[in-house]
Structure 1
Amino acid sequence: MSRIIARKNPVVFKTQAIHVKATPEVLCYTPVGNPLSFSEMQALRQPIQIDDPDNFELTVANLGVSVDLTLHWQGRSFHVLVRQERPDHGDNVLKLISGYVPAHELRIPMLTVMTEIAEELLLETERGWLQGCYQGTWLPTPYAETLPLYEKLNFELTPHSGATRPVLCRELHLIERPRAYVHLPTNSLQLVYQMRIDLPDRCRKLTALHADEYLDNHGQLIASIDYRRPELFLVEIENGRPNGQLFSLEQGELVNRRPKHLWLSEALAPQRGWIIDQPRSPWPDGLERL
């Protein structure tokens, strides 16, 4: 049975369209136009075509971020994926932790990454929930009222590696060097950050959960967790590559998971130049691109 951990009125989301100029060496983006509501943004997310994947200039509907998060636990390493049911696509995908970038963070999208990790990745110990810290900055604690923190311990979030081609917002290089691609089916610019999460050694009965959000019949935004369906999956890394084994982490034990009829999200589909033209990636082929 799921447990509600937050109930609130939806935050008024505003963003902007994104002008993108790409060359084989660099991609530069600039927020343009009037603020867009969530519904206005969605209306612009229609399929587009690009003739040259290395050289183009266009305006896309929005900026999104994802984080390829590597978790280390008891001497083993894992990629972190979450499950998303997509009724509009008729599928289930395992995806990277991700989110839309609001207008006030378009120039510093790393702030959105930190918020998404805090909202989607929940780590429970026998003495409370872990807060994260990124290079001396505490991550938000959106569920502190219902999920009390373990004040003496926290997890550390650090940059893992970066893309070779630079991405700029106007004239400023983005920190942590994310990978960038324009997703043609959704007319959006996407940034993928590679990060590492290190857990404290003293957490022996750790459980990793994913917070799911939905709108109820009264228009309130509900966040919930379900211990019977953690919906957060760990893909083990062996010899530097994912081996296809999926686990959940429950009470300090790695539990083998075998979800059915899975796909991977488009972030793990083949990329040509600066574009990805597929709506999703087959399982397990896309794991090769983690």
Structure 2
Amino acid sequence: MDLNNKIVINFLNENNALSLSALEKEAGLSSGLLSKVLKEERNLNQAHLDKLKPVLEKYGLKNKGIAKKAKIIAMVNHKGGVGKTTSTVNLGKALSMQGFKVLMVDLDPQGNLSQCYGIEEPQEQLYDALIHNRELPFEEVAENLFLSPSDVDLSQADLELHQRPDGYIRLKKVLLPQQEEFDYILLDCPPSLGILTSNALIASDSFILILQPETLAIKGLNTILRTVDQIKDGLNENLTVEGILFTLVDKRTINHQTIMNYVHENFPYFKIFNSIIRSNMALSEASMISQTIFDYAPRSNGAKDYMAVTKELINE
């Protein structure tokens, strides 16, 4: 089925958070055209549809014949305490606020992502899908935002996945049925480079490297990139770097600025997000009471920073 006026109208009605004027500008359409189309005062001709199709696909258009599968992004770092789960929570929320349907998957046996939504001992969790061949369980935690939870039971999966012939591609198989249901799937990886993180990288289209600008983080950066190269050489040659995201940044600290400059100079072939996540007390407070920054302090620097990163992600 080709794109037509009915599909466009249905999509715009279902995603009414999208700015019509911004869509018109991006597609090179005359101002006010889409508003008239929604009122059925005008019809889009084929030239209009051809311009509009790639723009709407970018914002999640899915239908028979022009189906668009979810973009799967792994959130990666080899150590904890760098803002990885915080970034997953808030990027997921920000994407959902932009009208996208988002699934977050908790791949960390510590279950920090799940605990952010008050889920501590889930009866059904990711482990069951990975090891017992069940469907991936998930629940809606906010409008357009869904979570597949985990807890300490997932720690058993490390050994059990190693014993399976399909151990490194289990997550890819588990996510396959969900790819037409969601626009984005965010994988919150554990703070290690074991088989769960490998599963995430093999299943993903791209990854975001969460990096706190500290000296030890730079040493770990090369370790992560070697792991990525091994994945690309073997089971996922299409894996790309979505971007390096600096978190917990204090621009007043010379060391932070020096390290960020070092990364820009020494890794010019990687995309680095222009937006950074500044160190912000509201982010810590929001995490402590299991809220996103957009619910807890929507006008804070933390909310502004994560929305800026999200818009970069959407408009890449």
- TM-score normalised to the size of structure 2? 0.25
If each structure's strand is expressed as a fraction of its own residues, which one has the higher value?
A: 1
If each structure's helix is expressed as a fraction of its own residues, which one has the higher value?
A: 2
Which structure: larger Rg? 2
